[in-house]
């Protein structure tokens, strides 16, 4: 375990010290593409865009938690060493098919549904979906009833069970409210990529692709067209924005 | 049938004062627990990211469901025109309002941000059944209060029947809404069933009546007022019917789940205690079925106990205990059973307890908060019968029974 | 005797009430009474806020609330009325002062007027490391690659107009 950690950090060190041109070749198309789409700060998000992710379980390395660490650092999520009540926005899950014994590893996070059950059940409207498909909690009006956590089929939400004392200024979080993956909305609004996707790419796995699934020219749309992308619990008809290959 | 006299109780005895003081201690305990949980955060409770609704919600939902059921007696009298229940109708409204207030207090004090109650009252998402419930709860207070007023004030008494019908319709909506909170949860194996709503309605009849019977017996015993067997035996057989009906719904619920292969996992968990469900299965079989249903039925219908009040009181207590067990099974066990996210796959590893059964154990603050809710209910009833004439001065058979023949 | 006591008591309460009224009228008369808290100005030489000081004193909460909902729900991330930028400009980086202390920019008035806010139960009450603007021009520092100075100034006009609209709508 510690051995692989060393490898990862050495790898990312090498990358970070590399030139910008080198960084661009590591993630071809992706960064260039999203920068071109950055919206002006005073413009509201529009439904012409739908942000999504495609996760390739074949490329996702079992034991690698680069996406989880990146998310925690980016959003100021710290463990209190109480796993039952600690917040988790993204987690790694390893699965085995009961019949075939085939094993896969994948990151689970908010699936950013088109028809999110958490939004349906929220009594105050704190749980909502932006026009560009990102599902968020407006913690200004969240009363902490946790009904959304009952409703979410993906266990994607966490309740802030104790005082949060390490917030970062772009991601205010606080005790007594519910939170979940924001798809790094603060980065996305400025033309960036979610921290987990970036970290996966930096760790040279490239298992996660982020982009606009309504734009046929985006990398994610091309990949989806070519290889498809399945939904977890597609039977619920939620039309998730996060899709998987190899499940 | 003689005229009914409604009369306040004196409420000055040591027993009465002692009762209020004792209940007050429980209320303080609940407030203390709330402050502790809010200050430290919910990690000090037994609740976590797996079981997000815990013992407070068991108490709260039980009381809210029972509130609707406690209105039964009034409904039967005004909607279905059964004269024998008429003298009890005002008391029935008081018990209903008090139960709802106790339940809501727990629910509100357990919120992550109870300080934002005003937000809950001003921001509504009308697609949320939870938001509808807030309207239903508040409406219940208003409608049932008006109903009580129309019954107690002689000058407007002729309108009380209409208010009674409105209250009847409203409380059916309320329990339907409460059941739908669970019935509308599409993702979880234990929920996602339209039957939840009518099942909650039937449960409310049973739990609410059991609570009402206890209040009636206790207040007549405490005040030494005469209470005839005719009224008591009518309530006894009514309770028996409701306990049967509840059991029927529980059986149909599990039969439906047993038929669908996708729910076999949950049924093995709750019925057989497989996959870490031993405790929950025991609570279901021993608490809900044996103590909460079969034993009360036996005690109600056994020969030779017809006029025995102690047996009826014991049966009512068991129905209430069974009600708590039922809520525990629905709310806690329903969440403890893992979400079926990847059908056909088993979880090898996860840092977030995917595929793992949660062993919930309630903490003391949660229990105190729940007991505080019951204390609030009882205080409201005790004060109510002291301030206003909710309680008939006598319910002797010669007064209460419309078919009584003078000997 | 008892009656006299009661009368005394009532008189005292009336006097206290009048005094408080007079005091509040004085404190909010737009002048600067010496005992009202001084708003800590940025130390970067900037003397102007995003709106005139009187307007900010009266209506900062409306600007903030408006911006809050726009940012949260529409992804509008202009800096002019963002709480983060208030803090970046008015609270020195690495400041030891925390919200709640009388010296904190927000607390200085909020403690005085006893208006409690819960912003800082989640938001940072000081600039994040490397993000403070003390010592810089507050506005030029916030330009993003896509939003230059021109867009910011139009945004000021637009947002203040819509804040006005909201207020008018609220008055109806």
Say whether B85 sits in a helix, a strand or coil: helix
CB B199 within 8 A of CB B61: no
Q: Selecting from 3.30.70.20, 3.40.190.10, 3.40.50.10490, 3.40.47.10, what CATH number does the domain A2-245 have?
A: 3.30.70.20
**Bridge partners of A103?**
A96
Nearest chain B CA: its distance from A179 CA (Å): 11
Residue with the larger pLDDT of the pair C47 and A76? A76
Q: Report chain A residues whose CB lies below 8 A from the CB of C127.
A: 169
Q: Is there a contact between A174 and C121 if contact means CB atoms under 8 Å apart?
A: yes
CA distance A11 to chain C (A): 27
Per-residue pLDDT at B285 exceeds 70: yes
Percent of the residues in chain A that have a pLDDT greater than 90, as a whole number = 80
Contact B351 A88 (CB under 8 A): yes
Q: What is the pLDDT averaged over residues B195-207? A: 96
Read off the pLDDT band of C102 (50, 70, 90): confident
pLDDT of B69 reads: 95
Chains contacting chain A through 3 or more C-beta pairs under 8 A: B, C
CA distance to partner chain C, nearest, from residue A132 (Å): 9
B339-357 burial, b for 16+ CB within 10 Å, e for fewer? bbbbeebebeebbbbbbeb
B309 pLDDT exceeds 60?
yes
Which of B57, B110, B118, B130 best probes binding to A when mutated, by most A CB atoms within 10 angstroms? B130
Give the pLDDT mean for A94-99: 95
Chain C CA closest to residue A137: C72
Average confidence score pLDDT of chain A: 87
Cβ-defined contact of C73 to A130 (cutoff 8 Å): yes
Q: What is the pLDDT of residues B202-237, one digit of tens each?
A: 999 999 999 999 999 999 998 889 898 889 999 999
Instruction: With cut-offs at 50, 70 and 90, classify the pLDDT of residue B153.
Output: confident
Q: Where are the domains of chain A?
A: 2-245
- Does residue C99 have a pLDDT over 50? yes
Mutation target among C69, C85, C121, C158 for the A interface, most CBs of A within 10 A: C121
Tokens 């030891």 belong to: C96
Which residue in A121, A142, A161 is closest to B41 by CB distance? A161
Answer whether C42 touches A (CB < 8 Å).
Answer: no
Q: Distance (Å) from the C-alpha of residue A28 to the closest C-alpha of chain C?
A: 22
Contacts of A172 in chain C (CB under 8 A): 122-124
Q: State residue B403's pLDDT score.
A: 75
Task: Reply yes or no on whether the pLDDT at C93 is more than 90.
Answer: no
- Among A11-15, A30-34, C37-41, top mean pLDDT goes to C37-41
Distance, in angstroms, between B202 CA and closest chain A CA?
24
Residue A7 has pLDDT above 80, yes or no: no
Inter-chain touch A121–B117, beta carbons under 8 Å: no
Six-digit token string for C67: 């911006």
A 161-200 near B (Cβ less than 8 A): 161-163, 175-178
Give the pLDDT score at B11.
Answer: 81
Please name the residue of chain B whose CA is at the shortest distance from the CA of residue A180.
B49
Return d(Cα C69, Cα C76) in angstroms, integer: 9
Residues of chain A neighbouring B180 (CB-CB closer than 8 A): none
pLDDT at C136 over 60: no
Least confident span in B46-55, B239-248, C131-140, C142-151:
C142-151
- Tell me the per-residue pLDDT of A221-247, one tens digit each, with 9 for 90 and over: 999 999 999 999 999 999 999 999 998
- Chain A contact for C72 (CB, 8 A cutoff): yes
Partner residue facing B119 (CB), from A91, A119, A141? A141
Question: Comparing A8-12, A109-113, A118-122, which segment has the lowest mean pLDDT?
Answer: A8-12
The per-residue pLDDT for C15 is 64
The pLDDT value recorded for residue C140 is: 39
Q: Which of B128, B186, B352 sits opposite A88 (nearest CB)?
A: B352
Q: Residues of A numbered 111-170 whose beta carbons fall under 8 angstroms of chain B's beta carbons: which are they?
A: 117, 119-126, 141-147, 149-155, 157-163
Q: What is the total residue count of chain B? A: 407
CA-nearest residue to A63 within chain B is: B349
CB nearest to B120's CB, from A103, A124, A247: A124
Contact C75 A39 (CB under 8 A): yes
**Helix B160-183 and helix B196-223: axis angle, to 10°?**
130
What local confidence, expressed as pLDDT, does residue B281 receive?
A: 97
B52·A126 Cβ contact <8 A: no
A122 → chain B, closest CA residue:
B128
User: C171 at the A interface (CB within 8 A)?
Assistant: no
Q: How confident is the model at residue C34 (pLDDT cuts 50, 70, 90)?
A: low
Question: Long-range pairs for C28-33 at CB < 8 Å and ≥24 separation?
Answer: C30/C54
What's the rounded Cα separation, in Å, for the pair B22 and B379? 10
Measured between beta carbons, the chain B residues lying within 8 angstroms of A146 are 52-53, 112
Which of C169 and A123 is assigned the larger pLDDT?
A123
Segments of B210-295 assigned E as strands? none
Q: What is the pLDDT of residues B261-272, one digit of tens each?
A: 989 999 999 999
Give the span between the Cα atoms of B358 and B105, in whole angstroms.
27
Per the structure block, which two tokens stand in for A131? 């026009």
Report the pLDDT value the prediction gives residue A38, as an integer from 0 to 100.
75
pLDDT value of residue C167: 40
Q: Where are the beta strands (DSSP E) in B46-121?
A: none
Give residue A36's pLDDT.
46
Q: How far is A158 from chain C (nearest CA, A)?
A: 16
The confidence score (pLDDT) of residue A15 equals: 42
The interaxial angle of helices C83-90 and C53-74, nearest 10 deg, is: 130
CA atoms of B208 and B190, how far apart (whole Å): 24
Chain C CB contacts of A44 under 8 Å are 70, 74-76
Residues B71-91: what's their mean pLDDT?
Answer: 89
Whether the predicted pLDDT of C95 surpasses 90: no
Chain A residues within 8 A of C158 when measuring between CB atoms: 42
Closest-CA residue of chain A to C118: A140
Of B111, B185, B348, the CB nearest to A145: B111
Q: Print burial letters for A181-211: b (CB count within 10 Å at least 16), e (below 16).
A: bbbbbbbbbbbbbbbbbbbbbbbebbbbbbb
The span from the CA of A215 to the CA of C20, in Å, is 63
Query: B148 to chain A, minimum CA–CA distance in Å?
Result: 30
The whole-number pLDDT of residue C18 equals: 62
Nearest to A41 among C78, C84, C121 (CB): C78
Q: In angstroms, what CA-CA distances link C4 with A20, B79, B374, C11, C12?
A: 87, 59, 47, 11, 12
Cβ of B341 and A155 within 8 Å?
yes
Residue of higher predicted confidence among B3 and C151:
B3
- How sure is the predictor about C7, in pLDDT bands with cuts at 50, 70 and 90? low
For range B145-160, the mean pLDDT? 90
Q: What percent of chain A has pLDDT over 70?
A: 85
Q: Cβ C147–A45 below 8 Å, yes or no?
A: no
Helices (H), B184-224: 196-223
Has residue A47 got a pLDDT over 50? yes
CB pairs under 8 A between A and C: 72
pLDDT at B166 over 50: yes
Query: Is residue C121 less than 8 Å (CB to CB) from chain A?
Result: yes
**Which residues in chain A have Cβ-Cβ distances shorter than 8 Å to C143?**
none
- A203 interface with B at CB cutoff 8 Å: no
Q: What is the mean pLDDT of chain B?
A: 93
User: What does residue A50 show for φ and ψ, rounded to 5 degrees?
Assistant: -135, 115
Locus of tokens 């006029």? B307
Reported as a pLDDT band with limits 50, 70 and 90, residue C10 is low
Sequence-separated contacts (24+) of B73-80 with Cβ below 8 Å: B73/B209, B73/B212, B73/B235, B74/B147, B74/B151, B74/B164, B74/B167, B75/B164, B75/B167, B75/B168, B75/B171, B77/B164, B78/B160, B78/B161, B78/B163, B78/B164, B78/B165, B78/B168, B79/B161, B79/B164, B79/B165, B79/B168
Which of B183-214 are b and which e, b meaning 16 or more Cβ less than 10 Å from the residue's Cβ?
bbbbbbbbbebeebbbbbbbbbbbbbbbbbbb
Residues in B touching A83 (Cβ below 8 Å): 351, 353
Give the pLDDT mean for B343-360: 93
Domains and CATH numbers, chain B: 6-339+353-400 (1.20.1630.10)
For the record, the structure tokens of B279 come out as: 């405790």
Chain C closest CA to A62's CA: distance in Å?
Answer: 35
Average the pLDDT over A161-176 and give the result. 91
Q: What is the mean pLDDT of residues B124-138?
A: 94
Distances (CA, A) of B127 to A144, B77, B137, B184, B186: 18, 35, 17, 11, 15
């Amino acid at each position: 375990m510690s051995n692989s950690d060393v490898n990862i950090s050495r790898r990312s060190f090498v990358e970070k010290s590399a030139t910008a041109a080198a960084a661009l070749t590591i993630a071809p198309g992706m960064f260039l593409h999203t920068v071109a789409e950055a919206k002006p700060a005073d413009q509201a998000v529009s439904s012409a865009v739908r942000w999504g992710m495609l996760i390739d379980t074949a490329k996702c390395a079992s034991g690698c938690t680069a996406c989880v660490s990146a998310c925690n650092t980016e959003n100021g999520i710290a463990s209190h060493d109480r796993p039952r009540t600690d917040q988790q926005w993204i987690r790694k899950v390893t699965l085995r098919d009961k019949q075939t014994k085939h094993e896969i590893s994948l990151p689970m996070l908010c699936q950013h549904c088109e028809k999110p059950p958490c939004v349906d059940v929220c009594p105050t409207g704190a749980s909502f979906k932006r026009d560009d498909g990102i599902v968020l909690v407006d913690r200004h009006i969240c009363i902490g009833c946790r009904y959304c956590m009952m409703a979410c089929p993906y266990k994607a939400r966490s309740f802030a069970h104790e005082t949060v004392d390490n917030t970062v200024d772009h991601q205010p979080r606080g005790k007594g409210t519910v939170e979940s993956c924001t798809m790094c909305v603060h980065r996305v609004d400025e033309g960036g990529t979610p921290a987990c996707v970036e970290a996966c790419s930096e760790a040279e796995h490239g298992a996660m692709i982020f982009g606009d699934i309504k734009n046929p020219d985006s990398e994610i749309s091309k990949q989806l067209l070519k290889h498809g992308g399945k939904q977890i619990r597609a039977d619920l008809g939620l039309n998730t924005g996060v899709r998987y290959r190899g499940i | 049938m003689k005229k009914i006299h409604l009369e306040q109780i004196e409420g000055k005895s040591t027993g009465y004062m002692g009762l209020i003081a004792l209940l007050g201690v429980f209320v303080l305990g609940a407030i203390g627990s709330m402050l502790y949980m809010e200050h430290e955060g919910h990690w000090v409770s037994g609740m976590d990211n797996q079981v997000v609704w815990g013992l407070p919600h068991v108490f709260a939902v039980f009381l809210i469901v029972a509130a609707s059921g406690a209105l039964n007696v009034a409904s039967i009298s005004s909607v279905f025109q059964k004269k024998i229940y008429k003298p009890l109708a005002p008391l029935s409204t008081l018990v209903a309002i008090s139960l709802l207030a106790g339940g809501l207090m727990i629910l509100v004090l357990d919120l992550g941000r109870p300080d934002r109650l005003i937000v809950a009252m001003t921001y509504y998402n009308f697609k949320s059944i939870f938001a509808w419930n807030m309207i239903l709860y508040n409406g219940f207070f208003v409608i049932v209060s008006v109903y009580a007023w129309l019954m107690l004030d002689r000058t407007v008494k002729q309108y009380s029947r209409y208010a009674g019908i409105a209250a009847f319709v409203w409380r059916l909506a309320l329990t339907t809404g409460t059941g739908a909170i669970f019935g509308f949860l599409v993702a979880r194996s234990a929920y996602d069933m339209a039957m939840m709503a009518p099942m909650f309605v039937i449960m409310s009849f049973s739990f609410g009546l059991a609570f009402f019977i206890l209040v009636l017996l206790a207040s007549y015993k405490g005040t030494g007022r005469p209470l005839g067997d005719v009224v008591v035996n009518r309530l006894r057989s009514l309770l028996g019917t409701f306990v049967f009906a509840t059991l029927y719904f529980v059986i149909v619920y599990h039969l439906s789940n047993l038929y669908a292969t996708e729910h076999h996992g949950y049924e093995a968990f709750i019925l057989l205690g497989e996959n870490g469900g031993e405790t929950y299965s025991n609570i279901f079989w021993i608490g809900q079925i044996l103590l909460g249903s079969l034993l009360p039925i036996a005690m109600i219908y056994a020969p030779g106990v017809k006029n025995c009040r102690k047996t009826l009181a014991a049966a009512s207590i068991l129905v209430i205990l069974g009600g708590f067990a039922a809520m525990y099974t629905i709310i806690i066990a329903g969440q403890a059973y893992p979400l079926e996210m990847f059908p056909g796959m088993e979880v090898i590893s996860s840092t977030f307890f995917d595929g793992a059964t949660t062993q919930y154990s309630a903490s003391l603050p949660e229990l105190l908060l729940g007991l505080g809710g019951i204390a609030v209910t009882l205080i409201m009833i005790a004060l109510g019968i002291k301030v206003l004439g909710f309680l008939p001065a006598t319910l002797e058979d010669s007064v209460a029974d419309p078919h009584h023949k003078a000997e | 005797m008892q009656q006299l006591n009661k009368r005394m008591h009532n008189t005292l309460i009336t006097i206290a009430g009048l005094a408080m009224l007079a005091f509040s009228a004085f404190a909010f008369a737009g002048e600067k009474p010496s005992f009202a808290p001084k708003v800590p100005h940025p130390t970067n030489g900037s003397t102007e806020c995003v709106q005139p000081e009187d307007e900010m004193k009266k209506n900062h909460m409306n600007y903030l609330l408006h911006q809050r909902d726009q940012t949260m729900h529409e992804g509008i991330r202009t800096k002019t009325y963002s709480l983060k930028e208030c803090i970046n400009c008015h609270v020195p980086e690495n400041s030891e002062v925390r919200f709640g202390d009388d010296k904190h920019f927000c607390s200085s008035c909020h403690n005085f007027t006893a208006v409690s806010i819960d912003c800082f139960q989640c938001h940072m009450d000081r600039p994040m490391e490397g993000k403070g603007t003390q010592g810089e021009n507050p506005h030029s520092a916030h330009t993003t690659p896509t939003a230059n100075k021109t867009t910011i100034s139009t945004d000021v006009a637009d947002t203040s107009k819509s804040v006005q609209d909201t207020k008018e709508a609220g008055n109806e």
